[in-house]
Structure 1
Amino acid sequence: MQLSTICNPINNIETEFMAGLTSGVIYPVFQPIVNNNKKILGFEMLIRWMVNGKEMTAGEFIDDIKSTEAHIKLANFLIDAAVKKIIKYNGALFFSVNITVLDKIVTEKLYNIISSLKEKYLNNELIKLLVLEFSESLDFYKDSKSVDNIKTLSQLNVTIELDDCFSSRSVNFPVRSMKFNGYKLDREVVSAFSKNIYDESLIRSLLYFCALTDSYCTAEGINNYNEMHELYKIGVRRFQGFWISKPVLENELDSTIRYFGLVK
């Protein structure tokens, strides 16, 4: 369903979006990222929008959000929430945030936002628990400044992760231009690797690269135990997917952590 068909046609979608960030109808949900024993390492923060009683995922509305101001406000909203959770759980968990736009203006604003939060609340170790995810579908060649912008943010000592690795939408794999702390395998390659030696070889090559560069690899979209077990056997150590847990609301975080337990 298109967002425009259920939003108030009198109002601009972006106007409603901006208002929703302060009114509570736009809110974060949290999907656990676990080890092979299903103990929680951290959470990816995703965004939801309640519109006329229907919960919309980011994929249903984010392409309609065009303005730089709106993307900055969204990033600020999520990063602020992530920092509060890092503090609440005493640095036991990381929280990752998807960065949807990365031009110079956004980078400068994000740098200032994170720098201010770091100065107020976090030391150099705790700030590493704030993970910024950048999609591999970003065209790093078309926008040559994207790599420079990511490098600028990495100076704050946050963790930088490349999302959607080896997806069908991939534009390029910019690892020569930028050292990422982590790489997240796209759900497409995760679901196909056991039946496709080429996909398995891609994953193995990334794992070898991660071992050489002191980075990590996360498998997204885990559908069953066998997938997780086979990926673990070849070296993957972080897992995420609806089979493990659906994204949970903020008021369900504590019970989710109690249910799965934390890595000790």
Structure 2
Amino acid sequence: MFNSSEVLTALEKALNTSQLYMVYQPIFNLRTQHISGFEALMRWNSPQMGMISPDVFITLLEDSGNIIAIEDMVIHTPWDVATCWPDPLVLSVNISALEFCDPLLPQRVRKNLTACGLPPHRCQIEVTETSPLCDSQVAAKNMMELKAIGVKLALDDFGTGHANLNYLLKYPFDTLKIDKEFVTGIEPDTRSTKIVEGIISLAHNFGIEVLAEGVETQSELDRLLQIGCDKIQGFFISPPVLAEEIPTLLAQYNG
């Protein structure tokens, strides 16, 4: 096994090389039965260590206090890739809770959108819950600034980790993403179903959409549609794919 300092050293050498790259998982709208966007996910294929999960290397970066922006890590940024997608497909980008506490975040997002020409309403920022939002005042200000230019906000892994009801009081989210733990085994009258139904009802009362992650079967999709879920992601629709595979997926689902 490699220790954390070895992984961080290797990561520094991997920046802006083909070792680090993005893949894209479709977001499927249950109402329209079409793909409505893609979530950009980072992958690291290290020659020495093999494939390393972003859960590992992003957490190590955060723990070291050295968060690096996506555009400084990969050669082909998701912003550039998304510009060739047909309107109104939305790009969803993960930003860590630590980055949300950086006062310069809105400026950085604006700069990226302007540079690539992607309209702000076709961009969604997901708060990833590797750590709690540390400075809630700065985070709230950043979110309001992003919303003001038209960017959408999503809360990842709602119901697990640090994301809790308090976040709905403090922050202006457009979408809640339900963790796949609740989706597995979502049959009638199970605890999972009751929890998901409760989250959907709560979110809709706030005017917030709900996206269920980790959907792997037709029965899970049907059940989520039945209880009012808005969108899904998961291997049943498609695993994350390389940018060049996106047109095939769009031809399959969006005609």
TM range (shorter): 0.7 to 0.9
Q: Which digits, 9 at most, give the CA deviation of each residue in 1:150-192, with x for residues without a partner?
A: 334333321100110112x345221011120111110001114
Q: Structure 2 vs 1, CA of residues 234 and 252 (structure 1 numbering), >3 Å: closer, same or farther? A: same
Give the 3 Å change call, closer, same or farther, for CA 172–27 of structure 1 in structure 2. Answer: same
Aligned-partner Cα distance in 1 for 2:121–2:191 = 34
Alpha-carbon distance, 1:208 to partner: 2.5
Counterpart selection for 2:218 from 216, 225, 241: 225
Letter in 2 for 1:21: L
Given candidates 94, 97, 108, the residue that maps to 1:98 is 94
Report the secondary structure of 1:48's partner residue. strand
Question: Which residue of structure 2 lines up, in the alignment, with residue 200 of structure 1?
Answer: 193
Matched, 1:183 2:179: no
Letter in 2 for 1:158: V
Equivalent residue number for residue 23 of structure 1 = 17
SS at 1:244 equivalent: coil
Identity %: 23
Residue 211 of structure 1: aligned partner: 204
Paired AA for residue 80 in structure 2 = K
SS at structure 2 position matched to 1:132: strand
Supply the distance in 1 between the matched residues of 2:94 and 2:70 (Cα, whole angstroms): 10
Aligned partner (choices 127, 136, 144) of residue 144 of structure 1: 136
| Structure 1 counterpart of 2:47, from 14, 30, 52 | 52
Contact between 1:21 and 1:74, CA under 8 Å: does it hold in 2?
no
- Partner residue of 2:231? 238
SS of structure 2 residue aligned to 1:65: helix
Q: Which moved more, 1:83-92 or 1:212-221?
A: 83-92
The one-letter code sitting in structure 1 at the alignment partner of 2:150 is N
| Residues 1:106 and 1:227: Cα distance change in structure 2 (over 3 Å) | same
Deviations 1:87-125 (A, max 9, x none): 2114231111111242576341x32221223344447xx
> Partner of 1:159 in structure 2?
152
Question: Any idea what the Cα deviations from partners look like across 1:53-81, whole Å, max 9, x if unmatched?
Answer: 72222123222224454x23336557x82
Runs of 5+ consecutive residues of structure 2 not aligned to the other structure:
none
Letter of the 1:115 partner, please give it: R
User: In 2, are the aligned partners of 1:72 and 1:106 still within 8 Å (CA)?
Assistant: no
2:87 and 2:122 map into 1 onto residues whose CA distance is: 7
Greater helix content: 1
Q: Which amino acid aligns with 1:180?
A: F
1:34 corresponds to which of 28, 31, 55: 28
| Offset of residue 250 of structure 1 | 2.0
Quote how far apart the aligned CAs of 1:198 are.
4.0
Cα drift, residue 236 of structure 1: 0.9
- 181-190 vs 149-158, which deviates more? 149-158
Secondary structure in 2 matching 1:256: helix
CA distance in 2, matches of 1:171, 1:250: 30
Query: Over the residues paired in the alignment, what is the CA RMSD in angstroms?
Result: 3.0
Compute the TM-score of the two structures, normalised by the length of structure 2.
0.83
Amino acid at match of 1:31: Q
User: 1:82: how far off?
Assistant: 2.8
1:133/1:103 CA distance change after superposition, 3 Å = closer
Q: How many angstroms does 1:195 deviate by?
A: 6.2
Q: Summarize the Cα distance change of 1:127–1:171 in structure 2 as closer, same or farther, 3 Å threshold.
A: closer
Q: Distance in 2 between matches of 1:194 and 1:14?
A: 42
Hey, what's the Cα distance between the residues in 1 that align with 2:51 and 2:141?
36
Task: Give 1:24's aligned amino acid.
Answer: S
Runs of 4+ aligned structure 1 residues displaced above 6 Å come to: none
Alignment coverage as a number of residue pairs? 250
Runs of 5+ unmatched residues, structure 1? none
Aligned to 2:155, what secondary structure does the other structure show?
strand
Check whether the contact 2:20–2:73 (CA below 8 A) recurs between aligned residues.
Answer: no
Kindly state the Cα deviation for residue 84 of structure 1 after the two structures are TM-superposed: 1.9
Q: In the alignment, residue 245 of structure 1 is paired with which amino acid?
A: S
